[in-house]
C-alpha cells in the first residue's frame, strides 16, 4: 500500500499576499481558491511537477502565521531555481554546497521557511 503526502497546511496572515508570493514570485500553480462556507477559504497551490501541494486560507487551522516547519523542495538545477527566485524579487540565499546536496533558502512574507535542494547523485535532482 502506498502512502502519498499530498497536502501541507502553511499558516499565513494575509491569504491574497501569500497567494501572490507563491504564484507570481515562487512559481507555484494556483489550483484552487474557493470559499465553501462557514468562514473557510481554501487555496491550494502546487510547485511545478510536484505531487504535493500546499494550502493557505482562512478557517483551516489555528497555527500562528509563519510557524510552518522548514519545508523542502528538490529541484534539478539549483542555480536556475536560485536565479528564477532572485529575478522575481524573492529574498533568496546564495547557493550552499554541501557533500550531500546543494541548497538555497528563502521565506514567505510571514516567515515560513523553505529550502530548495539539489542532489547531484540523483537523476533529475
Span 8-25, pLDDT tens digits: 999 999 999 999 999 999
The answer on pLDDT for 70 being more than 90 is yes
pTM: predicted TM-score of the whole model, two decimal places: 0.93
Quick one: cell of 90?
524573492
The reported pLDDT for the residue numbered 124 is: 65
Alpha helices in 9-118 (DSSP H): 15-20, 78-87
The reported pLDDT for the residue numbered 97 is: 96
Euclidean distance between CA atoms 49 and 72, whole angstroms: 14
Do 104 and 85 touch, CB atoms closer than 8 A? Answer: yes
Euclidean distance between CA atoms 47 and 71, whole angstroms: 12
Mean predicted confidence (pLDDT) in 82-94: 98
Amino acid at each position: 500500500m502506498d502512502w502519498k503526502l499530498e497536502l501541507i497546511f502553511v499558516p499565513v496572515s494575509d491569504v491574497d499576499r501569500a497567494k501572490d508570493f507563491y504564484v507570481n514570485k515562487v512559481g507555484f500553480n494556483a489550483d484552487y481558491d474557493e470559499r465553501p462556507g462557514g468562514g473557510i477559504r481554501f487555496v491550494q497551490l502546487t510547485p511545478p511537477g510536484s505531487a504535493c501541494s500546499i494550502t493557505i486560507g482562512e478557517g483551516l487551522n489555528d497555527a500562528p502565521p509563519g510557524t510552518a516547519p522548514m519545508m523542502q523542495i528538490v529541484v534539478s538545477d539549483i542555480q536556475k531555481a536560485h536565479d528564477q527566485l532572485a529575478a522575481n524579487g524573492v529574498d533568496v540565499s546564495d547557493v550552499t554546497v554541501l557533500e550531500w546536496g546543494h541548497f538555497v533558502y528563502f521565506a514567505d512574507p510571514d516567515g515560513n521557511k523553505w529550502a530548495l535542494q539539489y542532489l547531484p547523485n540523483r537523476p533529475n535532482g
